[in-house]
């Protein structure tokens, strides 16, 4: 084997993409337990426990369902369980993931009002109010928002969006993709009046890919009765009793649920959600100080909307982000996030979410700074120093 192939490297690979994230050893060990009978009593206890834990993560008393799926599956579940063919939905072009969700809605037969965006801002609550106020016949059935746009590192302000919907006195359902904010950035399904929250396993929950989640308000649950989009695998009714009975309608991802039990224990019982959010806020701030120290810009244009789970960094004109990423992977065995969609080559993304600590961040930022130097990207030295000073004092 060539000495510089990743398998021959010494020490751990740095997986600093904004998902999938680093999986704690304890979670990997939990997943390695023997698979059990998913119709037996031991499994029923596991299922009830993880559903109850996920309610705490979503900060909800409402129903939570868990699919053996990617996050994309949980998007489809949210739409197909609540809407009918030809229903209108209001969506916002905040970035690549919002654009993908819109494309899915179109394929499912929904009519989409897509508000264009510049991929540097979140959803403008004033635009939400304006669009809903212009719909007195209530043809719009849902407002769909990506909370943390993983392609841009921009967070939309869900409480302000809720308030805008309320000011317009509009009955549309509010659906929020919280895949890359859940268990990293404060998220409150009940308090913020969200009807369907969409989650996934491989980001803040520190698990491998393979679990999708919906948290479902009573209003969304009621909408399910009249929702005529075809669905079978995703149907909430079959899933909805799991919290009480511990029974899934088909084979669940048993071993990932072992992992989820362990990660929930770490997040909820050991560290505590508030401390988890503070840790991510600290790492977000330290990363932004490093970027400023390098004399580079973050993509997010509004300081109120900075993401604490990832930072997208703009490359200076004429320099390709993917070339820099390649050099960093080759020299330092670290993966950074690529620019998605129209941001290809223009940004790289530093993931600082999930199972992560100060020294992992220090190593990550050091890898970026050395990579900028190796790749000949114009920058100032001292980004790492600025981040370390912040971490040392805060």
Ligand X SMILES: *Cc1c(COP(=O)(O)O)cnc(C)c1O
| Contact positions vs ligand X (CB under 6 A) | 19, 70-72, 97, 146, 150, 177, 179-180, 200, 209
Structure token digits, residue 94: 């905040």
Smallest gap from residue 363 Cβ to ligand X (A): 23
Q: Are 309 and 352 in contact (CB under 8 A)?
A: yes
CB atoms within 10 A of CB 36: 15
Q: Which is closer to ligand X, CB of 299 or CB of 384?
A: 299
3-class SS at 138? coil
Q: Which is closer to ligand X, CB of 231 or CB of 319?
A: 231
One-letter-per-residue 3-state SS of 274-296: HHHHHHHHHHHHHHHHHHHHCCC
Crossing angle (nearest 10°) for helices 358-375 and 273-293: 20
Smallest gap from residue 83 Cβ to ligand X (A): 19
Structure token digits, residue 49: 């426990």
Name which of 258, 292, 260, 314 is nearest 385 in CA terms: 292
Q: Which is closer to ligand X, CB of 180 or CB of 254?
A: 180
Residue 44: which H helix or E strand, with range? helix 41-58
Q: Which is closer to ligand X, CB of 117 or CB of 200?
A: 200
Smallest gap from residue 12 Cβ to ligand X (A): 22
- Cβ neighbors of 174 (< 8 A, separation 6 or more) are 142, 143, 145, 161, 162, 165, 193, 194, 195, 196
Q: Report the residue number whose CB is nearest to ligand X.
A: 71
Buried b (16+ CB within 10 A) or exposed e, 144-159: bbbbbbbbbbbbbbbe
Q: Which is closer to ligand X, CB of 19 or CB of 259?
A: 19
- Burial (CB count <10 Å: 0-12, 13-18, 19+), residue 304: exposed
Smallest gap from residue 253 Cβ to ligand X (A): 13
β-partners of residue 67 are 212
Smallest gap from residue 370 Cβ to ligand X (A): 27
Furthest CA-CA distance within the chain: 67
Does residue 20 have a cis bond before it (omega within 30 degrees)? yes
Q: Which is closer to ligand X, CB of 70 or CB of 385?
A: 70
Q: Which is closer to ligand X, CB of 47 or CB of 179?
A: 179
Smallest gap from residue 66 Cβ to ligand X (A): 14
Smallest gap from residue 22 Cβ to ligand X (A): 15
For 1-27, give the DSSP string: --TTSGGG-SS--EEESSSS-PPPHHH
Q: Which is closer to ligand X, CB of 90 or CB of 375?
A: 90
Smallest gap from residue 233 Cβ to ligand X (A): 15
Strand intervals (E) in 205-359: 212-216, 297-298, 310-314, 334-336, 347-351
Q: Which is closer to ligand X, CB of 74 or CB of 110?
A: 74
Smallest gap from residue 361 Cβ to ligand X (A): 20
Q: Are 288 and 350 in contact (CB under 8 A)?
A: no
């Amino acid at each position: 084997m060539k000495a510089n192939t990743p398998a021959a490297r010494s020490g751990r690979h740095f997986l600093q993409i904004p998902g999938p994230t680093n999986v704690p050893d304890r979670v990997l060990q939990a997943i390695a337990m023997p698979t059990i009978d998913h119709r037996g009593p031991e499994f029923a206890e596991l299922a009830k426990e993880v559903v109850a834990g996920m309610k705490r993560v979503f900060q909800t008393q409402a129903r939570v369902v868990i699919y053996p799926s990617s996050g994309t599956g949980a998007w489809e579940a949210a739409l197909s369980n609540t809407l009918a063919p030809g229903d209108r939905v209001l969506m916002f072009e905040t970035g690549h993931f919002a654009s993908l969700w819109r494309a899915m809605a179109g394929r499912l037969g929904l009519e989409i009002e897509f508000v264009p965006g510049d991929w540097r801002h979140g959803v403008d609550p004033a635009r939400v109010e304006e669009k809903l106020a212009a719909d007195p016949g209530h043809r719009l059935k849902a407002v769909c928002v990506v909370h943390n746009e993983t392609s841009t590192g921009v967070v939309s302000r869900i409480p302000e969006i809720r308030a805008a919907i309320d000011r317009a006195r509009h009955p549309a359902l509010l659906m929020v993709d919280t895949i890359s904010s859940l268990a990293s950035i404060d998220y409150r399904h009940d308090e913020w009046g969200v009807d369907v929250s969409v989650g996934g396993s491989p980001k803040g929950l520190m698990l491998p890919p393979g679990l999708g989640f919906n948290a479902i308000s009573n209003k969304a649950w009621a909408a399910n009765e009249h929702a005529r989009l075809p669905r079978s695998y995703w149907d909430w009714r079959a899933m909805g009793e799991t919290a009480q009975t511990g029974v899934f309608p088909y084979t669940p991802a048993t071993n990932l649920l072992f992992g989820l039990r362990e990660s929930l224990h770490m997040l909820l019982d050991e560290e505590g959600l508030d401390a988890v959010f503070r840790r991510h806020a600290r790492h977000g701030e330290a990363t932004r100080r490093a970027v400023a120290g390098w004399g580079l810009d973050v993509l997010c244009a509004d300081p109120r909307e900075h993401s604490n789970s990832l930072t997208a960094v703009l490359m200076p004109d004429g320099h390709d982000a993917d070339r820099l990423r390649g050099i960093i992977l080759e020299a330092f065995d670290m993966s950074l996030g690529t620019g998605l969609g129209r941001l290809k080559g223009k940004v790289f993304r530093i993931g600082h979410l999930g199972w992560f600590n100060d020294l992992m961040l220090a190593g990550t930022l050091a890898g970026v700074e050395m990579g900028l130097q190796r790749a000949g990207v114009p920058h100032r030295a001292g980004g790492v120093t600025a981040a370390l000073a912040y971490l040392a004092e805060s």
